[in-house]
Structure 1
Amino acid sequence: MTLPVIGAALGVSELASYRDWLFDKDRDLEIQSFSNPALLVSGDWQALVDEAKTQLDGFGGRYGIHGPFWGLNFANPDPEIRALVARRMAQGLEICEALGATHMVIHSPFTTWDHHNLATYPGAMERLTDWVHESLGDAVKRAESAGVTLMLENIEDIDPAWRKVLAESFGSEAIKLSIDTGHAHYAHGSTGAQPVDFFVRSAGEMLGHVHLQDADGYADRHWQIGHGSIRWHEVFKALGELEAKPRLILELRDKAGILPSMDWLEREGLGQ
């Protein structure tokens, strides 16, 4: 069995340091320099795009960006804020187009409060879905035209099926699911969600992207692999059951943990 090839999330300034490692197997890459609100407000991102393209000259791997997310909830009930969210999504896709990126990570709108309370308000899920379509509908259409896949990442999600139904409601190949293993493990340990491998199985063939990070089930740690308590063998077993080949991205707070994480995964026979 061929082990899955694993890549990483990096800033533009970090690409040179990991260039040889990225290129040796054309690893999946996510560039995370373009979600800074100050950068988006100023619109002064072209120099970063130019530097990234220089560093990636000749790269054959799949790559994308983490889209805008700070304070941006697709399900905001305020129409003026939804309009702002839509503008930020358009900016993110403009960056993708300039960069040649083929994915953009976006954040789930579902909160812990939603999980415990939406059912107490008749029609609440339908209203939430309508708000999300208003915020994200134009972005999905633009992503289709640009060859970009929007990856909808779990944040506070307790029931992973909610996010899947929401993504499916667009009826588009341009929106798929992302799983952040540390977010899922936090939700499992602190809010009663299913374990991480259940999130993978729930996503099924809609899974297009995975943030790999270790955690303790209490907080969003972004530790190197092997430093937390995620059951990695079960996670990779679930991934191996899929026909889909999601982008596998180490998203670590300390980038010095990338190569030790890969050493751990290789020793365990889980990835390369």
Structure 2
Amino acid sequence: MSHPTPDLPILGAALGHEDLAAHRDWLLEAPRDLELQAFVDAEVLDGDWSDLAADTVRLLDGHAGRLGIHGPFWGFTIASYEPEVRKIVTRRFQQALDVCAAVKGTHVVIHSPFTTWGYNHRGLYPKDATRTVEAARETLAPVLSRAADMGVTLMLENIEDIDPADRAALCEALDWQALALSVDTGHAHYAHGSTGGPPVDFFIRAAGDRLGHVHLQDADGFADRHWQIGHGTILWPAVFKAIAETGANPRLILELRDKAGVIPSARHLEALGLAR
């Protein structure tokens, strides 16, 4: 194995609450960024999560990396055409900001509203582009204003996105207030392999210096696998070369289904001379 050099980017991870203790030493060996996955579900956000937040703060005593949470996403889009749904989504993200305040987090991951269906029907419904922007604006305006006051950035993650420029155009329309771009490598690889999107490194390059966050997971191009790094077919040298070329300093978050693969994934990327 090659020895990591100080100028290599530092890896972090997305972890459930039950995974924090097992990864504490790894999280503290360098200023590793961390994403909390314990506050995604409605049942948690609607309940009393104060003890969970307090225990999180206790477990992370001494942690020097950047901290954030994955925001809620189940069952909705940030650009719903239904006014009553937009109210619910706004409330969910306000709850996410409440959590951020409690754990001293500075990012919230939110999901892109762009779909395969929407991409393939461009031009057939000319008002859709404007309706998407306006629906997202109404949903997010109070959330973005509060996030900006808190020093929190909402990271807009590609999900079904085929064109990596779509999220940037939406953020531009929203004046980039408290917004940055997130690239999920497995989602991009799925789009490339199954729906006609470009390779993963193209998604990274398209984000440019607006790249604030990357979910690192390996996959096969057919589905959203969240495999350990090295177990799929993503070309990692191309991905990390593209990240370096953006000039950005994104949070590099290993987001794996099996958390036992987090440290082996980090070691794999170290052995490739790509990260530490």
Measured against the shorter chain, the TM-score band is over 0.9
Matched residue, 2:165: 161
8 Å contact from structure 1 (residues 140, 172) kept in 2: no
Residue 148 (structure 1) aligned to one of 130, 152, 171: 152
Q: Who is 2:94 aligned against? A: 90
The runs of 4+ residues in structure 1 deviating greater than 2 Å are none
Counterpart in 2 of 1:203? 207
- Are 1:61 and 2:65 matched, yes or no? yes
The within-5 A match list for 1:34-53 is 34-42=39-47, 44-53=48-57
CA contact (8 A) 2:78 2:89 kept: yes
Instruction: Trace 1:70-219 onto structure 2 (pairs within 5 A).
Output: 70-219=74-223
Shift of 1:172: 3.3
Distance 2:40 2:262 in 1: 21
Distance 2:33 2:214 in 1: 10
SS at match of 1:150: strand
Higher relative contact order (CA 8 A, sep 6+): 2
Q: CA deviation at 1:138?
A: 0.9
Q: Quote the residue 1:4 is aligned against.
A: 9
> 1:220: Cα distance to partner?
0.2
Amino acid at match of 2:23: Y
Q: TM-score, normalization: structure 2?
A: 0.96
Q: TM-score, normalised by structure 1?
A: 0.98
Q: Partner letter of residue 190 of structure 1?
A: S
CA RMSD of aligned residues (A): 1.0
The farther-off stretch of 167-176 and 112-121 is 167-176
One-letter amino acid of the structure 1 residue matched with residue 74 of structure 2:
W
Tell me, in whole angstroms, the C-alpha distance in 1 between the residues paired with 2:94 and 2:177.
18
C-alpha contact 2:145 2:177 (8 A) present in aligned 1: no
Per-residue CA distance 1:191-212 (angstroms, 9 max, x = gap):
0001000000000011000000
Alpha-carbon distance in 1 for matches of 2:174, 2:70: 21
Amino acid of the structure 1 residue aligned with 2:26: W
Partner of 2:19: 14
Once the two structures are aligned, what percentage of the paired residues are identical? 57
The 8 Å contact of residues 144 and 177 in structure 2, kept in 1 or not, is answered as no
Paired AA for residue 16 in structure 1: A
Structure 2 unmatched runs, 5+: none
2:231 maps to 1:227: yes
Question: Residue type of the partner of 1:85?
Answer: V
1:261 to 2:265 alignment = yes
| Alignment partners' CA distance in 1, 2:34 and 2:177 | 21
- Of the structure 1 ranges 108-117 and 119-128, higher mean CA displacement relative to structure 2 is found in 119-128
Instruction: Give, in whole Å, the separation in 2 of the partners of 1:54 and 1:119.
Output: 52
Contact 1:115 1:158 in 2 (8 A): yes
CA contact (8 A) 1:178 1:209 kept: yes
Shift of 1:169: 1.6
Deviations 1:35-79 (A, max 9, x none): 01211233x111110010001112111010000110120111110
Q: How many residues align?
A: 271
